[in-house]
Structure 1
Amino acid sequence: MPSDFDLLRSLDDQPRTASTVDIGRAIADGRRRHRTRRAAGYTGAAAVTALAVAGASVAAGSVTEPRPKVAAPTSASVKPPLYTIPGTPGWTAPAATPPSSCTLDRLPAPDNAPMALVSGADPGGRYIVGRSYPKAGGYQAVIWHDGQARKVMLPGDLEESLRDVNSAGTAVGWSYAGSGPVPYVYRDGKVAKLPGVRRGSALAINEAGAIVGDNDTGNAALLWRSATAKPIRLPVPAGTSRAQATDIDEDGTAVGTLDDERPYVWFPDGTHRELPMPAVGGKPAVTARAFSIRNGWATGVATDGTGRDGSNPSPGAEGSDKKAPARVTAVRWNVRTGEVRLIDGLEIGANTANAHGWQVGTDKQGRAVLVADGRTVVLPDLATHEPGGLANIATTLSDDGRTIGGQSDDASGTIQAVVWRCR
């Protein structure tokens, strides 16, 4: 039986091949499964998310060697950001009072596609990206601007998705073309392949236009300083086999994971280090991963498993071959101070954090929630669902906490792209 950590890894944005699972059947199967733990529940309704939000770890063609420093990018080809960078002169923090209630609206899908979901948004929540599932089958990358949907025609005919977008409407993602996935940028209504790689994934973009991702062999975390710059291979400690950069902050700080088990951060001054392991169940975590960062707040997960498979002997089963799943816990790091904290209001991990360190994810009852300064706000569903089931997933969170993007199952059990408006 796979451990919780193995199940979590199956939700990564980097499948090595295009998805081959029948989406419709996965939805039907998901409706029949009752969630016992969120990790297991994700193999039901949210297994579709694992497939649909899945990106592709990309094979590098040629990448340049790292420059001495990983600084915030500056390029004449990058438009000035519309959203002032947190921590820089002129930045005013949005309202710091967490919302107390939210309403739900379904986002339209191009061509009335029956199913769609959200994978990223800009810090203000005006641009949202994801993909739909047209009636004829397949995948269609989508960008929403102030609630209006537009198709983004990525090359390829197997699988595609936009993963992130900034406040200028510049989005990044990937598409399978030929023998594997290729990283793309969508800017000013046009799609262009990111330079310097034959195969690669683009996972996140900041307001200055810097992009991070990895290669499809998984051994290089990559940084593009702009959409027209060749990628930089981010430095890692000697002996590292795998590296992935999953998100980038406005000052150029990037986070990711090494060897699928060590959370890592690359700073703008060129320094880099492992993020501290929290204590899980009273003992130091054995493995952890970092997924997102915003204004110095990084989110991820940690497990108390005793090995890469995340499994350990069952309590009281000393000397036996029985295994118990590892405990997987949500984690938040302050990369500036080194503080690390477990988040009790979420099961497994947050899907993202905003400039205040507020987080969205799924609680232990399988509900989509916003966790902010000790307050938990349960997000409403499109339709009534089985208690304990996993029908709502919150994916994005604006800096003011008022706009949340994600997905919710309708009355037929079909996933719909949605936005929650909070106050």
Structure 2
Amino acid sequence: MESDEEYGVSLLRPLDREPAGPPAIDVARAIAAGRRRRFALGLAGSAAAVVAVGLVVGGSALVVRHDHTPAPLAGAPARAGSSGPSTPAAAPAPNSCTIARLPMPAGQGTESVATGGDPSGRYVFGRSYPTGDDNHPLIIWDNGQPHTVAMSGTDQNFTDMNSAGEAIGNSFGSSGEMSWAYQNGRLTRLAGSNSEVLGINERGVIVGSVDEKPAMWSSASAQPTMLVVPAGGTGSATGIDEDGTIVGRVQGAPGTPALGYEWSADGTGKELPAPTVNGKPVNGYFASAIRDGWVIGMGDLSGAPAAGGNNSGAKAPAYGDLIRWNLTTGKIDVTKPQGLAVSVNAQGWIAGDTDKGKHAGLLADGKELALPNLAGAPDQIANIAYVISDDGSTLAGQAVAPNGEQEAAVWHCH
């Protein structure tokens, strides 16, 4: 049986060289994710930093409802028609799912990946691979119907979307990374140099980073507001909830571990509570996503920091452990590696993969559900669910086709 470390190596092996044929995973996305997660655990350039495109799932899930009422974020009043989907009533976790390919625009071919969507399950976004270069046409599926979006630059990607159909994303140009907002069929470049955006809420408030420091845009036309970090700190905001709570990661001096961070709607910031395992402190940790008070992230829970107070002399783990915070109850849930965890919904359920990538996976109510693969597909790493709707009925991601290509797919569960 493949170990966790071997799984990480297998997942990253396509990054070592140009693939001879169609890539089995979204290689460009993995490379970009590694670059964007260079603060994670203070392990820049390591396998752990690259694999942080997803987080580890396993063990039992704690499902506790998040009941506080959303309040407007300073500088970002609620907009008419943008309140978003209501939090679904608690329901039993799905126990059966079906898979379907997402249709491709004419002339695009089939090689593709769905990398996210909105909380309602109506919208899914991703990109296709019609050529061998770094130009990846973007696709948004609206109730399963695709249309393309032309974003300037290379390595184009969307990263998040709200239920109004407003998406955010990034690309690379001659001057570095550029960030974009997609609204009403049009792309707008966000203000800020060397910027990256990772989260948007129903009010259209956007979070990410500018020059490697956490930032927030109150709207697509606003200047970025830099979030408070300790003196000399760097990092990124990775997600924003409907009440304006922002989460992410902050790193102090070079070589020191990253720390998970939380910013309230009033702008104040603090470290997310650090878990311990067997009485030992974490070496480093960060938050990657938030939804309805549920936060997921990853940490190195292997023991105390190496000599010198940081991880510079410690062996980089192939994976960390999944940390799940419930901001309402204060409960911290730590689970062990079983696969990747990418997103969390309003029920506290997590989408990713399971069985070392052989199946897309759903972790809900203490049960891990392996999602079906495409019929006749080879048994290999690359089946991943990147997004789950709030009610748990719709997941989307990538699945391996019988010819070995990755294809954008959707799972309908009940």
TM-score (norm 2): 0.78
- Consecutive unaligned residues of structure 1, counting only runs of 5 or more, are 12-18, 31-44, 58-68, 85-90, 313-322
1:312-391 equivalences under 5 Å are 312=314, 325=317, 328-344=320-336, 347=338, 349-366=340-357, 367-384=359-376, 389-391=380-382
Question: SS in structure 2 opposite 1:51?
Answer: helix
- Consecutive unaligned residues of structure 2, counting only runs of 5 or more, are 38-70, 252-256
Question: SS in structure 2 opposite 1:262?
Answer: strand
Number of residue equivalences: 362
| Residue of structure 2 equivalent to 1:256 | 248
Question: SS in structure 1 opposite 2:374?
Answer: coil
Q: Which amino acid aligns with 2:131?
A: K
Q: Structure 1 residues 324 and 130, CA, compared in 2 at 3 Å: closer, same or farther?
A: closer
Measured after TM superposition, the shift of residue 136 of structure 1 is: 6.0
Question: SS in structure 1 opposite 2:91?
Answer: coil
Measured after TM superposition, the shift of residue 93 of structure 1 is: 2.4
After superposition, the C-alpha distances for 1:77-104 in whole angstroms (9 at most, x for unaligned) are: x5531524xxxxxx45245221111111
In 1, the alpha carbon distance for the partners of 2:165 and 2:206 equals 14
| Residue of structure 1 equivalent to 2:185 | 189
- Work out the percentage of aligned pairs sharing the same amino acid: 37
TM-score (norm 1): 0.77
Question: SS in structure 2 opposite 1:347?
Answer: coil
CA contact (8 A) 2:28 2:155 kept: no
Kindly report the root-mean-square deviation, in angstroms, between the aligned alpha carbons of the 2 structures. Answer: 3.2
| Residue of structure 1 equivalent to 2:142 | 145
Match of 1:105 among 100, 107, 116: 100
Q: Does 1:80 align with 2:73?
A: no
| Residue of structure 2 equivalent to 1:60 | none
Measured after TM superposition, the shift of residue 270 of structure 1 is: 2.8
Q: Which amino acid aligns with 2:88?
A: A
Question: SS in structure 2 opposite 1:226?
Answer: coil
Measured after TM superposition, the shift of residue 276 of structure 1 is: 1.7
1:2-401 equivalences under 5 Å are 24-25=19-20, 45=25, 47=27, 49-51=29-31, 71=73, 74-75=76-77, 78=79, 80-81=81-82, 83-84=84-85, 91=86, 93-110=88-105, 111-135=107-131, 137=133, 138-156=135-153, 158-195=154-191, 197-215=192-210, 217-218=211-212, 220-240=213-233, 242-259=234-251, 261-280=258-277, 283-305=280-302, 306-307=305-306, 309=311, 312=314, 325=317, 328-344=320-336, 347=338, 349-366=340-357, 367-384=359-376, 389-401=380-392
Task: Return the structure number with greater relative CO, CA threshold 8 A, min gap 6.
Answer: 2
In 1, the alpha carbon distance for the partners of 2:17 and 2:209 equals 27
CA contact (8 A) 1:72 1:251 kept: no
CA contact (8 A) 2:108 2:129 kept: no
CA contact (8 A) 1:56 1:174 kept: no
Q: Which amino acid aligns with 1:194?
A: L
Q: Which amino acid aligns with 2:171?
A: S
CA contact (8 A) 2:83 2:203 kept: no
In 2, the alpha carbon distance for the partners of 1:385 and 1:93 equals 34
Measured after TM superposition, the shift of residue 335 of structure 1 is: 2.2
Q: Structure 1 residues 412 and 117, CA, compared in 2 at 3 Å: closer, same or farther?
A: same
Q: Structure 1 residues 92 and 385, CA, compared in 2 at 3 Å: closer, same or farther?
A: closer
Q: Structure 1 residues 250 and 92, CA, compared in 2 at 3 Å: closer, same or farther?
A: closer
After superposition, the C-alpha distances for 1:106-154 in whole angstroms (9 at most, x for unaligned) are: 1123333332112221110111112111236421122111111111111
In 2, the alpha carbon distance for the partners of 1:364 and 1:278 equals 26
| Residue of structure 1 equivalent to 2:396 | 405
- Which deviates more, 303-312 or 411-420? 303-312
CA contact (8 A) 2:15 2:27 kept: no
